[in-house]
Amino acid sequence: MSGELAIQAFYAAASSRGLPRLARAEGPYLWDQEGRRYVDAASGPVVTNIGHGNPHVVEAIARQAANCAFASRTAFVNEANEALGERLADLCGEGFDRAFFTSGGSEAIEAALKFARQIAWLRGEGKRWKVIARDPSYHGSTLGALSITGDEEADEVFGPMMVRMPKIPAPFTYRIPAGHSPESWQAAAAAALEETILREGAETCLAFVMEPVGGLATGALVAADSYYAAVREICSRHGLLLIYDEVMSGAGRTGRFLSAHHWPQGRPDLVVLAKGLGAGYTPLGAMMAPRSLVDLLAEGGGFLHGHTYVANPLTCAAGLAVLDEVERQGLTEKAAELGPYLDRKLRALLHDSPILGDVRGKGLLMAIELVMDKATKQPFPLEVEITRRVSRLAMQNGLIVYARRTSHGKYGEWVMISPPLNSSRAVIDEVSAALRRTLADCTDELIREGWLGGTAGSSSTARHRA
């Protein structure tokens, strides 16, 4: 078969012809039909938190499918939904008492936005509708989620179809604007939230949405502790709901079940989860909300929102089995333990590779930033397609990474390195070794093509293609 009918046909002409055909997967590894093994260094798009082929989850899915795969929420309460909601509320902690389940992160973000708007309406604050977010950022691919996403390329294409929401600068830690220290820029990034609220009119502002630990749009960005406290105080003072998008950072990946748990002084009002919640075994997302707000919603006539597969028993049973494994294997604690080890291995590469400019992240949500010149932090020209090169060469070295350019590369380019939470030090060593080979291969390729000087080092002199 040529692969012309595969999903990849929607992304590049005949692209599937250049991809290996999947045969099977187990733990942190996947095999193609030629028998070649790949280590899943990014858990797919930061999804397969518990690895592939977990027998407990597979058994739970089969058992629920045989019992009842689907039942409408309008006709039945189902045990799997109740059990998953209770377990998730326990793991998320006080104030996140109610779970609204969806089929993924984009849907969960949409649910949070509509929930926030309906709560404002019921409180008699009908003028509140503007949702402030960061630039760059990524919150999903549906039009509502895109409206709060900070991505110039998406705005250019889909902007006329949506209401563009206000954006504030992301609190970057690597490329800091001229005239700022890291500390002053973090303070300025937080202050930009209040400035935007006042400019837009506080009475019209509904919520502020942010990733507490960045995903692909900011390359695992972690702000200073003071930033989280500052945005919490600003939201409280002006009556905005603070929403944490933990689609990537939640479900134990950063060493706490919610990355919000790292910053109690920055506690959000709503949390959105997905990806690792279903761990690739089922499409699953969730919005976590406090009981008081959910009760207000129910008493006001109920949520004006829903989907066919909301809380279906098959998906909920799979999600519950995933959380069973997260707890049984102590995967949140394991992420906290392995995170510093992965960080050290990546920083060793930072020292040795002339094209590696920064390493950042928390727990097992890490990223590396690629640069043309380490001294100036100059990014590669767009035509180099640096992240695509690294992804291609990584596959040749038996390594799967995750990368996507944001805003035409305006803020730089990076690659996520986020292996499954039940990885071992040996797996991380394997990832590090393959990544070292990949960066070396990429550097050699760039030198041959004239993008880097032939003696590329930690402060290599970049030159244009002849």
DSSP bridge pairs for 452? 462
CA distances from 171 to 77, 98, 351, 435 (A): 43, 30, 25, 28
Nearest to 386 by CA among 445, 464, 345: 445
Secondary structure element (H or E) that encloses residue 210, with its range: strand 205-210
Residue 261 has what pLDDT?
Answer: 98
Q: Render each residue's pLDDT in the chain as its tens digit; 466 residues.
A: 456 667 887 887 665 567 899 999 999 999 999 999 999 999 999 999 999 999 999 999 999 999 999 999 889 889 999 999 999 999 999 999 999 999 999 999 999 999 999 999 999 999 999 999 999 999 999 999 999 999 999 999 999 999 999 999 999 999 999 999 999 999 999 999 999 999 999 999 999 999 999 999 999 999 999 999 999 999 999 999 999 999 999 999 999 999 999 999 999 999 999 999 999 999 999 999 999 999 999 999 999 999 999 989 999 999 999 999 999 999 999 999 999 999 999 999 999 999 999 999 999 999 999 999 999 999 999 999 999 999 999 999 999 999 988 888 889 999 999 999 999 999 999 999 999 999 999 999 999 999 998 755 433 333 333 2
How confident is the model at residue 409, as a pLDDT? 86
For 195, residues 6+ apart whose C-beta sits below 8 A from its C-beta are 168
Q: Which residue has the tokens 């990806």?
A: 275
Report which DSSP code applies to 9.
G
For residue 184, CA distances in Å to 144, 176, 191 come to 33, 10, 10
- Taking the C-alpha atoms of residue 375 and residue 305, their distance in angstroms, rounded to an integer, is 51
Give the Å distances, CA to CA, from 369 to 215, 372, 406.
13, 10, 13
Percentages helix, strand, coil for the chain (3-state, rounded to 5) are 45, 15, 40
Residues whose CB falls within 8 Å of the CB of residue 367, separated by 6 or more in sequence, listed in order: 214, 219, 220, 359, 360, 361, 414, 415, 416, 417
If 0-12 CB within 10 Å is exposed, 13-18 middle and 19+ buried, where does residue 148 land?
A: buried
pLDDT of residue 407: 83
Nearest residue to 239 via CA among 201, 186, 296, 290: 201
Using left for φ > 0, alpha for ψ between -120 and 50, and beta otherwise, residue 407 falls in left
pLDDT value of position 460:
38
Determine the residue type at 429.
D
Which H or E run contains 294?
helix 291-299
User: Three-state SS across 149-182?
Assistant: CCCHHHHHHHHHHCCCCCEEECCCCCCCCCCCCH
Cis peptide before 136 (omega within 30 of 0): yes
**The two three-digit tokens of residue 13, written as one number:** 């002409």
Please state, in angstroms and rounded to a whole number, the distance separating the CA atoms of residues 148 and 200. Answer: 15
Cα separation, 88 vs 84, whole angstroms: 6
Distance CA 332, CA 254 (A): 8
Tokens in use for 354? 């002339």
Specify burial of residue 272 (Cβ count, 10 A radius: 0-12, 13-18, 19+): buried
Separation of alpha carbons 381 and 465, rounded Å: 10
Intra-chain end-to-end CA distance of the chain, in Å? 41
For β-strands 241-246 and 270-273, DSSP reports them as parallel
Strand partners, 365: 362
The DSSP code sequence of 82-132 is HHHHHHHHHHH-TT--EEEEESSHHHHHHHHHHHHHHHHHHTT-TT--EEE
